[in-house]
Structure 1
Amino acid sequence: MATEAPARYMQGIAVPESSVNPREFFLRTRRRTQLESSKAYAGLGQTDTFELKKTDILAGLFIRFDGSLVTVKGTGQVNTQARWPYDLIKQLKFTANGQSNIINCSGLKLKAREAMGKGDLTDRGVSQNYNGATVTQGTLSQACESWGVGSRATNVPDGTYDIDLSWFVPVAEDQIDLSGAIFAASSSTDLTVNIDWAPPTDVFTLSGTATATLTGTVQVVALRYSIPLGPDGQIVVPDLSVFHSLIQTRYTNLANGENELRLIGQGAGKTVLRAFSQLWNGAPAVPVVVNEDNFGKMAWRFGGNETPDEYPDAQVLRYINERMYCSDIGAVWGFHCHEFASENAFRDAVDLGTASEWRQVINVLPAVVLSNAAVETTVESIFTAGAGS
């Protein structure tokens, strides 16, 4: 009597053990970049939901907003805040195969991670307007994008401005080995993207009878890889036993001096690839520039008081980050990153099964007068299906 081939569960989906053959898969697969969905933008403060097709192996998503901003000053003014334009996406949540919110972060964090994940992607020479000045480095912008109006712009003239923005959602940690890509060709697969758009008060400051009206179209373009058949006629897949996670957390209990922030999602089966942060301060909030005037010692710790990486001041960490990413991430948006994956992920990544009580150290100097301050930290990790998100 014939017996079924033993099954191997990857990301909660049963796949025949004999089908898992990474070498054969990469010889035979084909990349497919296709429009997944296109719909009218729901509007500021609203949510757009996208159900993704159950086919192939999903490795990434391109999100594009293409529209226009109409400003009318009336008896007041239209000003943009620092979260304009990339935090137009207040929160993007990607759910797959029972793992809720594998990716859960804002649009600006997605832009930062794209620069971190692609060291050859640079914003150098791309001109954008930030706080009334033309900036050509550190905006995380691409030349083909259009902000329409600058970030932190004041008294925006009446007009209609073209807006064209893009974000990349890294479903797989790496587009070469596809770690964290999702096996989507199953009736039990459930892939959902929810985009919570920022409310007007997050991106605009309006006075008097001033209005700012944003309309447009949202496109979701999927980056997939075909599932080939092997010589025996059976499907061939790579090892898809892990998920790739990008989770944002907000910390508000801050003071001048050394702050230790315990990062969420710790435990066996999880490995940290990078943790990157911004300090937002003031009302309306702006990101604090990363330099030696604003921040002292920067570090990360685990256990009782083990401190593997310690930078004497933030300027040193900013230099190291720019060297890695070909983008000065600390200048405009105030990012700094503890990086473990850009040069040798398998050697340097932090195993949270052994490094317990993982903590980030941020030393805020007295030059920064804290008011409504919050640190927004995004942790990127790889984890097995049983470890949770």
Structure 2
Amino acid sequence: MTDAGHAGAPPLTVDADGGGSLVLRFAGRWTLETVRRLDGELRAAAERPAERMVIDASGLSGLDSAGAWVIRRTLDRAEARGVATDLRDLPDAYRPILDKAVIPDPSAPVVPQAGNPLLAPLEHAGQAVVEGAVVARNLAGFFGYTLVCLAGVILRPWRLRVTATVAQMEATGLNALPIVGLLCFLVGVVLAYMGALQLKQFGATILTVNLVGVSVLREIGILLAAIIVAGRSGSAFAAQIGTMKVNQEVDALETMGLSAIEVLVLPRVIALIVVMPLLTVWADAAGLLGGAVVALFLLDLSIAQFLTQLKAAVQFWDFGTGLLKAPIFALVIALVGCYDGLRVSGSAESVGRYTTRAVVESIFLVIVLNAAFAVAFAEIGI
């Protein structure tokens, strides 16, 4: 029980005087390493009978969150037993660390018990399932609360922040046109080129137009647009709102009596719902243009022949299904981005973590919903 970091003084000394007081003297650097070594001894000392417990912290030369945690735990445990406590001579530099030490479960061991390595994968899978269910429940509740606020804005339109909504439409829609158009054009080129190579073996290269038209209008256009928007705008929503949370700007809004949902969430949700169908049309046009370029230079088709074959190949619902899915995908992307942004707390690291989660969750939900729509449309014959 020695600590060379404080002139050879032991890091923990326990003395009992004749007046019923128990004195715990802390010395040296109380960091995670020291806590792990002396946790059992400190627990035993904290349980000794006494009328008064005094913690003398004058000898501390270092303190981290683990050391502050055990000091707070010792004080709280003594007070819970009805023992009067007194913390003396704690250096001012360590006072903020101790003030922020929270003891959710004082009985929890400092060093976690090692689990069974054979059961660890099952444990992790179970934790992932439970966490996913909790996120789904909370996201459903956030969706319901947002709908209530949206209904309130519809009944009282003057509460809608038009300037913020238009600014979000520019950021999420107009500024996204170049990247959406370029990627969908390139995907259309690749799809037409690979399709033509395969269909050429059967002498049916003209059906490349059918392949490009149906796949781009029904699936590729809306799916690529939604994924790009999720990675671009969904992450921006989470990062913007998360940064406001870290800077306590959201708390300031609520202190002023303003609703964070109305001020931050609804403009983003409404803007994305409005621009997503327009981005889908733009993505469809870019994908078809990429297919037309391949048909023009590889298949020796004229633009008139391409358009004639395209008109014969596609129907209205090939285009309409994408427009039906666009507002739903936009709602999901905006809600997930705003929800994860509002979950940020504490630090910039939390902003990065929840921004990443927003992108992953929104893309996952978009793909799942797209598969569900495909099955539903096939069942009803669309």
Q: TM-score range by the shorter chain?
A: under 0.3
Q: Which has the higher helix share?
A: 2
Q: Which has the higher strand share?
A: 1
TM-score (normalizing by structure 2): 0.20
Larger Rg over CA atoms: 2
TM-score (normalizing by structure 1): 0.20
